[in-house]
Amino acid sequence: MATSSEEMQKDQNFRRYKDGDYIEKDMHQKIFQAGWSYRCPTYIQRTPPCQGSCPAGEDIRGWLDIVRGIEKPSGDMAMQEYAFRRLTDANPFPSMMGRVCPAPCEKDCNRNHVDDFVGINSVEQYIGDTAIENNFNYEAGPDTGKKVAVIGGGPAGMSAAYQLRRMGHNVTVFEERAELGGMMRYGIPGYRIPREKLAAEINRITDMGVEVKANTRVGKDIKIDQLEKDFDAVLWALGCWTGRGLPIDGWETASNCVDGLSFLEAFNNGRMKVTGKKLVCVGGGDTSIDVVSVARRIGFNAEAGLPEDILSNNETQDQSLADAALPCEATLTSLFTKDKMMAAEHEITDAIEEGVTIFDGVMPLEVILGDDGRATGLKVCDCTMDGMKPVPTEGTERVIEADIIVAAIGQGGDMAGLEDFANERNFINADKNYQVVDKPGHFVAGDIVRPHLLTTAIGQASVAAESINSYVMAKKMLRRPKVDKHHFSLSNKLIEAGLEPDEYDKKSSRGTSEENYAVHNFDDRSEHEIIAYDKLFLGHFKPVDRNLRAEDVPSSDQVLGHFHERMAGLSEDAAVAEAERCMSCGICFECDNCVIFCPQDAVYRVKKDQSTMGRYVATDYSKCIGCQICADVCPTGYIDMGLGG
């Protein structure tokens, strides 16, 4: 039966050429001249966009290829441990980041142009949780005798401590609070970050020999000049613990107008058991979602007194207040509409399911004060956004009743005692190598540079650790690459597999493709290029549904007292299946297309005893005619047509 024209236009997920659009205009000039080829296959490794957008710089493609079984470890190491080793080269907190990272990698995944992104976070959580279950640990490098002070035990500080210990340096972490973890412990609720798994990932780092001095504030309990005498370098990873208030009338004078960080820290350290009956939070990011979600879970109790009191003292509310709590009305307002809010989409959806009221496209105007000077409501109006500036819509003013108002609109640094390091915004200035500007021997990473994601802090810490290593070892600080990530190294892989090339004799100049001096016609451009979807052969990939994690999201009737973990992990089978959806952009994943479709049998599989990841196929250039079919049918964009002979 003939196919209708309408049907032919439907669901076409890929076409290499548009009608009338052909890349090769002159086959004679472009491809071959009699018996010699103009262009032949060259194998080019590039960075995939998932990795290019990962603030921690993880080799995402690499550990997905390990989980799916394409890249195999040498010896008897299990897949789970090999994937863990590759992932944690960049990020020592896979269990945590697999749960709470908003995953910019998934947004940029090339598979979005086929069906749906690869569930990178879910596989990362599987790797992290499996590592905890199997007690995988880290090893410190050979002792260098150098000592580094790390100020702050949050994601930046602990990641830097981990990287520095791998390099063999002695590390002491100075932490102002009683426990390590920073925002992971004090800013994110336990139903999103299970505390036992957080402790496991922190302990794995301290077990490397990291010394910890808790309840110690640098600038007060220990002076900076003392640090400079005792240590070869100092890393400032203070975080940002000062919440910003709303720039509206009434905010500064009302005692029940508080910041989101103070609210969440009081809950996360166990002091706040209940809150007010009507809570309004102004924000739109993940912190504001956490505030309203916590409020819905803890509820209110009229016997608890004023809800703001617990934030201004060091007392702990009695558990009996929580046992008799009633549901709290929690409202979130955001300048941006839901589709443009900074919070992750699933966090917004979950909050609504839990009974949170969200007013989007709304700006605060004024705090309404009662006779006692406390806030009784928040006056708001609809707005539109002119860039980052809200424009009020006249005639839409109204008041949202509240007995506690929380601002979650950003945060700043607490630089008391450290004023000599603070810039005009109360952050610390850094150069491209994360050195403190005009402060030799001092380095900086994390939110105190610029508040951003937890995974951003982890990535900055890795760069800072490399810079510190260069400084204390008196090495020249190298220029950072354009694509500054943790890349797969074919050279390291060949050494690991016992296939390292021979030393070049510096004499041979012709016929070197037959020698074992290097991998012939291979070029690693990972530090310079990110491969886009239009360089791939997307027609190779069939649509496959994502393997989704189960979520325990309570309804509005169930949320009170519900503190079970929200995000369940994938099983091994599901994690492998999800990893198999990865298109391995920018490196061979052994599909055999180039071998099968080569009309000259010029492309062949490398012998098994000489093959490894990134060295699966090669070309017999005496047979190649430069037809470029291999490049056209390569799903991953690994083959370019370069000059041949």
Q: Identify the residue with better confidence: 367 or 18.
A: 367
User: Would the pLDDT of 228 be above 80?
Assistant: yes
Q: In CATH, what number does 147-241+413-472 get?
A: 3.50.50.60
Q: Which residues pair with 436 in a beta bridge?
A: 430
Alpha helices per DSSP H over 74-194? 79-87, 94-100, 104-107, 120-133, 155-166, 183-186
Please name every residue paired with 381 in a beta bridge, in sequence order, or none if there are none: 363
For 508-549, how does the pLDDT look when each residue is reduced to its tens digit (9 = 90+)?
666 566 677 777 788 999 999 999 999 999 999 999 999 999
Looking at per-residue confidence, does 625 or 82 come out higher?
Answer: 82
Burial 501-538 (b: 16+ CB within 10 A, else e): eeeeeeeeeeeeeeeeeebebeebebeebbbebebbbb
Q: Which of 1-5, 208-212, 585-589, 618-622 has the lowest mean pLDDT?
A: 1-5
Which sequence spans correspond to the domains of the chain? Answer: 147-241+413-472, 243-410
Q: Which residue has the tokens 């839990």?
A: 354
- Residue 151's pLDDT band (cuts 50, 70, 90): very high
Q: CB–CB of 191/566 below 8 Å?
A: yes
Domain covering 243-410 assigned CATH 3.50.50.60 in the classification: yes
Q: What pLDDT does residue 7 have? A: 45
User: Dihedrals φ, ψ of 308, to 5°?
Assistant: -80, -15
What is the DSSP annotation of 369-391? E-TTSSEEEEEEEEEEEETTEEE
Which amino acid is present at 115? Answer: D
What are the pLDDT digits (tens) for 262-308? 999 999 999 999 999 999 999 999 999 999 999 999 999 999 999 99
Contact 89, 486 (CB under 8 A): yes
Residue 485 confidence (pLDDT) above 80: yes
Q: How does DSSP assign 191-251, residue by residue? A: TTS-HHHHHHHHHHHHTTT-EEE-S--BTTTB-HHHHHHH-SEEEE-----EEPPPSSBTT
What pLDDT score does 617 carry?
A: 94
* pLDDT tens profile 344-366: 888 999 999 999 999 999 999 99
Q: How confident is the model at residue 219 (pLDDT cuts 50, 70, 90)?
A: very high
Give per-residue pLDDT as tens, 58-112. Answer: 999 999 999 999 999 988 999 999 999 999 999 999 999 999 999 999 999 999 9
Domains 147-241+413-472 and 243-410 in one fold: yes
Q: What is the pLDDT of residues 417-430, one digit of tens each?
A: 999 999 999 999 99
* Interatomic CA distance for residues 113 and 119, integer angstroms: 15
Average pLDDT over residues 257-266: 97
Taking only the tens place, the pLDDT of each residue in 2-48 is 444 454 444 445 555 565 554 555 544 544 444 445 678 999 999 99
What is the spatial distance between Cα 491 and Cα 53, in angstroms, rounded to a whole number?
Answer: 24
Long-range contacts of the stretch 491-499 (C-beta < 8 A, 24+): 493/71, 493/612, 493/613, 493/614, 493/615, 494/519, 494/612, 494/615, 496/74, 497/74, 497/612, 498/74, 499/610, 499/612, 499/615
Which residues share a beta bridge with 551?
Answer: 567
Q: What is the pLDDT of residue 31?
A: 46
Residue 622 pLDDT: 85
**pLDDT averaged over the chain?**
92
Q: What is the pLDDT of residue 344?
A: 87
Cβ contact 51:59 at 8 Å = yes
Q: Using CA of residue 157, residue 158, residue 164, residue 168, what is the dihedral sign?
A: positive
Q: What is the mean pLDDT of residues 184-193?
A: 96
Residue 21: its pLDDT value, please? Answer: 53
The per-residue pLDDT for 501 is 81
Rounded Cα distance between 602 and 284, Å, is: 57
pLDDT at position 20, please? 56
Give the separation between CA 594 and CA 618, rounded to whole angstroms: 10
Q: How many CB atoms lie within 10 A of CB 366?
A: 16
Per the CB < 8 A criterion, the answer to whether 528 and 624 are in contact is no
